[in-house]
Amino acid sequence: MLSLGHISWIVSIAMNQNSKLRRSFKLKAMGLVGGISAVTLSACGSSASSSATPSSAAAAKKVPLVVYAAEGYDAAIVKGFQQATGIPTELEDHSTGTLLAKISAEANNPQWGVFWSDGSESYAALDQQKMLLRGFEPNTGTLTPLGKSLVPADKSYIPTGTTIAGAIVYNSNVVKSPPTTWNQLLSPTWKGAVGMNNPAISGPTYPVVASIMDQKGGVSQGEAYFKALAANGLHVYSTNKVTLGALLQGTIKLALVQNSAGIGFEYTNPSLKVAYLDKSALLPGIIGIDAKQPAAEIAEAKKFADFVYSKAGQALMLSGDPHGDSLFFPIIVGTKAHKVVPSLASIPTDYPNPVVWGPREASLNQWFTSNIVQ
């Protein structure tokens, strides 16, 4: 469990370094005539459409399902789920770091029923704190072999797809030969040229930190690597959007970001290309269900996971954020990635054990902020 000090530290970093976190809005559907009762949207110029829910008395009696999410397609999924089931749903969309701090602060009185974000490490930590429902798998869809490998032994969380953490995005007009290994980033060639996100704010970045430390042989070896990277002029930003903005401005030459964000930026910036180092971290999208909620809300949360795995849910995942999180590698049989997404088989990947690295997330994020962030 994060301490109150860790909670306030994470929130202060999020607010100070990134006042416009990806998106922040509530999507409430209370089953009343006319559908959604309130939609609030702020930051980053994103928009979400309200959806109609059944006006029947039965719908009005349903228990509201609260979804905490940090996925670009989450509003589309929630809207589709409400229309399909009539279950009144409230969506809290923020950055992963902010949501984790919120979940920790609410530990004795949790307000969420579903948590959906990228990176299994956080969920392994929540599971060790006995906060997640165990032993459940969706009844719809069939997992691919990769998908099955991402399911924890106690079935405490649910993988929904995967991307790559720590892909290299570069401007092909500036960089003709991008690096191919993590060690090459320490060379004089890339002095002051590399940028990445702060893992305390950007949830998809902590798996990069964990993966490098795991590949280097442990925490102390990994810390030494990041100190060397900082000494070589590493730039640290808040989120994918800010880091990629620095790349476009020419402040950096290489951006270490989630590959889906990099591929998405290619749509409007064709000179940007995405490359992968010798081993890049798999970054699964994960759903967790709050074990402390009443049985009625847990039952609805299970239906939400079923919907995500269904054909309708998969279609919404692929369409809800077409220049961002929708550019994922599917793990449900029959779902095909967008044609701009490369074959995962062509990318050397690493998947550090979430059970080992999940509980270290808070302390390593604090170490990174204190020692690496300039």
Same domain, 157 and 176: no
| CB-CB contact of 259 with 281 (8 Å) | no
Does some domain include residue 346? no
| pLDDT less than 70: residues of the chain | 1-61
- Cα separation, 360 vs 335, in Å, equals 34
**Is there a domain that residue 355 lies in?**
no
Q: Can you give the pLDDT at residue 203?
A: 83
Same domain, 257 and 225: yes
Using DSSP's 3-state secondary structure scheme, residue 51 falls into: coil
Q: Specify whether 114 is located in the same domain as 173.
A: no
User: What is the spatial distance between Cα 186 and Cα 334, in angstroms, rounded to a whole number?
Assistant: 42
In a domain, 212, yes or no: yes
321 and 296 within one domain: yes
- Can you tell me which residue has the tokens 């095909």? 336
Residues 232-287: tens digit of each pLDDT: 999 999 988 899 999 999 999 999 999 999 999 999 899 999 999 999 999 999 99
- Residue 239 lies in domain: 165-281+361-371
Is residue 351 one of the residues assigned to a domain?
Answer: no
pLDDT of residue 189: 97
Give 291's Cβ-side CA count (13 Å radius).
15
First-to-last alpha carbon distance for the chain, in angstroms, is 28
Give me the residue label for tokens 């604090």.
366
For residue 129, being part of any structural domain is answered with: yes
Q: What is the pLDDT of residue 204?
A: 87
The pLDDT tens digits of the residues spanning 317-357 come to 999 999 999 999 999 999 999 999 999 999 999 999 999 99
* 53 neighbors 22 (Cβ within 8 angstroms): no
Q: 330 lies in a domain?
A: yes
The structure's pTM equals 0.83
Residue 92 and residue 205 in one domain: no
Same domain flag for 11 and 149: yes
Instruction: State the Cα–Cα distance between residues 133 and 131, nearest whole angstrom.
Output: 7
Considering the domain architecture, whether residues 219 and 324 belong to the same structural domain is answered as no
Cβ-proximal residues to 342 (8 Å cutoff; 6+ apart), any chain: 274
Per-residue model confidence (pLDDT) at position 243: 96
Q: How many domains does the chain have?
A: 2
State both tokens at 335: 């779902």
CATH number at residue 192: 3.40.190.10
